[in-house]
């Protein structure tokens, strides 16, 4: 969603108009307030495939997610009809999809002739510069199949990457830097004496709490998706915040180092602000494991199976490399308009 808002702003700055936004979600998930407030154009929700979270709140369940998808096929067919109606009503010149499988399948079967651009780091996994984690052939096959599912052959794929790599025009594949929020790029990063933690699932909270108890001299601020109070204080050196975009960016710009589940966007933001980074892929989430492997390839982060924050405080394992993070920042700054140029062409 933050990528979509960033691209919308870039397009509007170049004189284009974004007509409408469709959000694929499940019926239990509320569209975040920051997105509803900032999008400022017609916003539609459709029922779309989603992951089933494990009971411990730490990982995702692949087979249960697949079974849920099969059970909701009738609802997804209805969503495809809704997508078609929205596109017919607004009649845009082009379509943009951020890894939404129903958008890809609308394009695959509708015969729509206008261009569709499919944007995501997931598509970089098909680039020769990426190397999959060893083993887990089924997950690798499933992710590659899902990529094909979300981006039909006729579409143009925009591969978001931590590093500058060659385009593959014969496959309609073009490498671009991450879409970073303007608020991130406007920060003047500093190094205050606290660690910042972001977790996709609140089930990782006990790990952070336990490490904090064993290391009372280290201050930690964490963000999680657990409903409740805006701020939950566990001790003098540990507080948890509910997700808040502006507050998160402020803490990211001023933290000593950053630990996170391995989502692409937050890692790209931390790398741009030249922070030490520890990535913990969500259990069972092969895509996040690929994100972590790729960030390690780029020299931007280290990877762990758990939130062992000692990897960020121990001088021998600290991740920060000014050379690699400076190269990443240069890649982002010097190619800021490449994606818009592709869309215009």
| Domain tally, the chain | 2
Beta strand extents in 130-211 (DSSP E only)? 156-160, 173-176, 195-198
187 and 294 co-located in one domain: yes
The gap between the terminal CA atoms of the chain, to the nearest Å, is 24
Mean pLDDT for 218-235 is: 83
Q: How confident is the model at residue 34 (pLDDT cuts 50, 70, 90)?
A: confident
221 and 271 co-located in one domain: yes
160 and 203 co-located in one domain: no
173 and 193 co-located in one domain: no
Q: How confident is the model at residue 270 (pLDDT cuts 50, 70, 90)?
A: very high
160 and 12 co-located in one domain: yes
For 288-297, what is each residue's pLDDT tens digit? 899 999 999 9
User: How confident is the model at residue 58, as a pLDDT?
Assistant: 52
User: How confident is the model at residue 65, as a pLDDT?
Assistant: 60
Number of H helices and E strands in the chain, helices first, is 14, 15
| Report field, pTM of the whole predicted structure over 0.85 | yes
Query: How many Å apart are CA 302 and CA 310, to the nearest integer?
Result: 12
Exposure string for 221-254, b = 16+ CB within 10 A, e = fewer: bbbbebeeeeeeeeeebbbbbeeebeebbebbbb
Backbone angles phi, psi at 300, to 5 degrees: -100, -15
Query: How many Å apart are CA 151 and CA 124, to the nearest integer?
Result: 12
Mean pLDDT for 95-118 is: 94
* Better pLDDT: 256 or 244: 256
Q: How confident is the model at residue 319 (pLDDT cuts 50, 70, 90)?
A: low
CATH number for 210: 3.40.50.2000
Does pLDDT of 61 surpass 70?
no
Q: Which residues contact 170 (CB under 8 A, 6 or more apart)?
A: none
99 and 226 co-located in one domain: no
226 and 92 co-located in one domain: no
198 and 58 co-located in one domain: no
> What token pair was written down for 35?
């997105």
Q: How confident is the model at residue 203 (pLDDT cuts 50, 70, 90)?
A: confident
207 and 149 co-located in one domain: no
166 and 193 co-located in one domain: no
For 142-181, what is each residue's pLDDT tens digit? 888 889 889 999 999 999 999 999 999 999 999 999 999 9
CATH number for 128: 3.40.50
Domain region containing 273 = 183-333
173 and 188 co-located in one domain: no
Give percent helix, percent strand, percent coil of the chain, each to the nearest 5: 45, 20, 35
> What token pair was written down for 257?
């180092």
116 and 129 co-located in one domain: yes
């Amino acid at each position: 969603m933050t990528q979509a808002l960033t691209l919308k702003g870039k397009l509007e700055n170049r004189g284009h108009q974004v007509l409408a936004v469709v959000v694929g979600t499940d019926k239990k998930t509320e569209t975040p307030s920051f997105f509803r407030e900032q999008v400022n154009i017609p916003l539609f929700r459709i029922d779309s495939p989603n992951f089933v979270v494990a009971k411990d709140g730490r990982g995702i369940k692949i087979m249960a997610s697949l079974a849920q998808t099969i059970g909701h096929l009738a609802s997804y067919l209805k969503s495809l009809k809704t997508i078609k109606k929205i596109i017919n009503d607004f009649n845009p010149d082009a379509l943009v999809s951020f890894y939404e499988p129903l958008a890809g399948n609308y394009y695959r079967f509708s015969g729509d002739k206008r261009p569709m651009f499919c944007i995501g780091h997931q598509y970089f996994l098909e680039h020769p510069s990426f190397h999959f984690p060893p083993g887990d052939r089924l997950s690798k096959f499933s992710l590659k199949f899902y990529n094909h599912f979300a981006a039909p052959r006729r579409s143009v794929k925009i591969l978001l990457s931590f590093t500058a790599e060659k385009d593959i025009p014969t496959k309609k594949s073009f490498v671009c830097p991450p879409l970073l929020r303007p608020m991130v790029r406007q920060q003047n990063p500093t190094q205050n004496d606290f660690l910042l933690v972001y977790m996709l699932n609140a089930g990782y909270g006990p790990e952070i709490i336990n490490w904090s108890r064993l290391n009372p001299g280290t201050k930690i601020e964490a963000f999680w998706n657990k409903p409740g109070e805006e701020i939950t204080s566990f001790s003098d050196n540990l507080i948890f915040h509910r997700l808040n975009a502006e507050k998160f960016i402020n803490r990211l710009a001023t933290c000593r180092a950053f630990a996170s589940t391995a989502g692409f966007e937050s890692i790209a933001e931390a790398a741009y602000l030249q922070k030490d980074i520890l990535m913990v892929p969500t259990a069972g989430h092969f895509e996040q494991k690929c994100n972590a492997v790729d960030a390690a390839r780029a020299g931007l982060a280290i990877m762990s199976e758990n939130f062992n924050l000692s990897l960020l405080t121990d001088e021998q394992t600290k991740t920060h490399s000014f050379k690699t993070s400076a190269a990443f920042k240069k890649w982002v700054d010097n190619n800021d308009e490449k994606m818009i140029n592709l869309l215009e062409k």
